[in-house]
Amino acid sequence: MTERMLKFVSLAQAMPDKRPAPQRRTDFDEIYRAFAQEKAAEQASRCSQCGVPFCQIHCPLQNNIPDWLRLAAEGRWEEAYAVSSSTNSMPEICGRICPQDRLCEGNCVIEKGFESVTIGAVEKHITDLAWARGWIKPITPPLERDQSVGIIGAGPAGLACAERLRRKGYQVAIYDRYDRIGGLLIYGIPNFKLEKDVVLRRGQRLIESGVKFHMNVDVGRDITLGALRQRHDAVLIATGTYQARELKAPGVGLGNIVPALPYLIRANRTDLGDKLPATDSSRFNAKDKRVVVIGGGDTAMDCVRTATRQGASSVTCLYRRDRQNMPGSAREVMNAEEEGVVFNWLSAPEAFLGRRVVSAVRASKMRLGPADATGRRSPEPIPDQSHSLEADLVIQALGFEAEDLVSAFDAPDLLTTSWGTVKTSGPSLETSLDGVFAAGDIVRGASLVVWAVRDGQDAAAAIDRYLKDKRTPKPHSADDQSLALETVS
């Protein structure tokens, strides 16, 4: 084995080729080219197969990374896929968008002076190959069970749960208010990080596996949570977090100051070829505008890079902490800088200037003060140090909070936390309502895809235990007729 592995000593780290920045700026295609097969195997062979695999420990899914790297290095691709997909319902998606620099790759312990194994790129290669070679097939459960589970939300948490439940033979129905399957994977995360076909084929596989999708159904408005509980033997809430945090500063109500998600959704829909109403089209388009994006997370990075692709005349990101303390991935900052984005670190907006629409942002210079209770140093303004930036479009990307589900679902007994997220009883992910579980961002607060997948998979295991205890399926009531909703095929 050592002959094939531990090549980090003689072989340098290499990512798949990145398309040149001037070309990237002109389209929304993914920026990395595919690995050539031998390159992927070569890079996998850099793994040192260490006794305590910190990459695996720091992966929320505890992916068995050393094993699938070794199989890839040996050219045993189908087995590598089998190992990789045994813990992860969507490895090619995590391979593309996980912040590996903070998770597996950030904890790779090949000796100092050598760079980490390119785990994410190899993971993507293995699963893309599995799709291309037809190894990924619809699920055919060993037995069909009568019990059914209703899932609210077709994002990664809902999809991962559906996948696991279907494998066990449960009847699964997913309800989502969007028209496409994928949640933020489709409408939040831009194509240049994650091409939409990659997400849609996952949804299509679930359809072919017998999962019923009821799209354009807003639970709370079109159907009640109570009705879903009557219809199904268990219900999962996987609705994500969509309430945008807003800045409070003079002038924030001026025109052309827009929230990040509607901006990204519109850009994603345009890229998907959807016909959009002309209203607001100029407000949400960065072409020829001086754009200022406020925030330092993944959403802010997606906004700055979308604006460059829309043809903004300049794009500046204002973030109140410094580069080392930003929540977004360092790799994404580097990609944005290559594409021409300017970062104003340690800067926070103080006021928005303009008559009807915004024309400038006044920002104060910040410094990092003492650490707060979480150990993170809090930013504080440096008195009398402000500067102004001209702006025609300002995008606020300050994070998301949970919607008030107690009201939306008219469920006074659904317990929530002081942040509005749904309270669950530890690892069982069961809520305060019997037979109702919750997973993903609606439990954790805005987080990562890999955690949503983990929660979805854990929720499936918990629902399976619950239903095995319960056993008798819910009799289909006459009421079901009134709940009949169109399914997607």
Ligand X SMILES: Cc1cc2nc3c(=O)[nH]c(=O)nc-3n(C[C@H](O)[C@H](O)[C@H](O)COP(=O)(O)OP(=O)(O)OC[C@H]3O[C@@H](n4cnc5c(N)ncnc54)[C@H](O)[C@@H]3O)c2cc1C
Distance CA 100, CA 266 (A): 28
Q: Is 178 in the site for ligand X (CB under 6 A)?
A: yes
Distance CA 26, CA 29 (A): 9
Give one DSSP letter per residue of 278-291, joined into a string: STTTTTT--TT-EE
Give one DSSP letter per residue of 389-432, joined into a string: EE-SEEEE---EE---HHHHTT-TT--B-TTSPBP--GGG-B-S
Q: Is 189 in the site for ligand X (CB under 6 A)?
A: yes
Q: Is 97 in the site for ligand X (CB under 6 A)?
A: yes
User: Pairing between strand 347-354 and 358-371?
Assistant: antiparallel
Q: Binding ligand X by CB under 6 A: which of 452, 462, 463, 488? A: 452
Q: Is 421 in the site for ligand X (CB under 6 A)?
A: no
**Residues touching ligand X, count (CB under 6 A):** 36
**Bridge partners for 243 per DSSP:** 401
Q: Indicate the helix (H) or strand (E) that contains 299.
A: helix 298-309
Q: Which of residues 156-175 bind ligand X (CB under 6 A)?
A: 156-158, 175
Q: From 87, 93, 90, 96, select the one nearest 59 (Cα to Cα).
A: 87
Choices 64-72, 127-135, 155-163, 351-359 (CB under 6 A): range interacting with ligand X:
155-163
Q: Binding ligand X by CB under 6 A: which of 41, 71, 73, 98? A: 98
Residue 162 or 189: the one with the smaller Cβ distance to ligand X is 189
Residue 189 or 315: the one with the smaller Cβ distance to ligand X is 189
Q: Indicate the helix (H) or strand (E) that contains 57.
A: helix 54-57
Q: Which of residues 218-257 bind ligand X (CB under 6 A)?
A: 218-220, 238-240
**Bridge partners for 357 per DSSP:** 255
Q: Which of residues 113-152 bind ligand X (CB under 6 A)?
A: 152
Instruction: Find the shortest distance in angstroms from Cβ 260 to ligand X.
Output: 7
Residue 5 or 122: the one with the smaller Cβ distance to ligand X is 122
- Compute and round to an integer the Cα radius of gyration of the chain: 23
Q: Binding ligand X by CB under 6 A: which of 18, 19, 102, 177? A: 177
Q: Is 474 in the site for ligand X (CB under 6 A)?
A: no
Q: List phi, psi (to 5°) of 388.
A: -115, 145
Q: Which two tokens stand for residue 415?
A: 């317990």
Residue 122 or 157: the one with the smaller Cβ distance to ligand X is 157
Residue 72 or 185: the one with the smaller Cβ distance to ligand X is 185
Residue 77 or 319: the one with the smaller Cβ distance to ligand X is 319
Q: Is 60 in the site for ligand X (CB under 6 A)?
A: no
Residue 169 or 188: the one with the smaller Cβ distance to ligand X is 188
Q: Binding ligand X by CB under 6 A: which of 448, 459, 460, 463? A: 448
In one letter, which amino acid is 312? A
Q: Binding ligand X by CB under 6 A: which of 16, 95, 120, 153? A: 153
Q: Give the 3-state secondary structure of residue 16.
A: coil
Residue 115 or 218: the one with the smaller Cβ distance to ligand X is 218
Do the beta carbons of residue 319 and residue 344 sit within 8 Å? yes
Do the beta carbons of residue 122 and residue 43 sit within 8 Å? yes
Positions that interact with ligand X (CB under 6 A) = 97-98, 152-158, 175-178, 183-184, 188-189, 193, 218-220, 238-240, 264, 298-299, 302, 408, 440-441, 447-450, 452
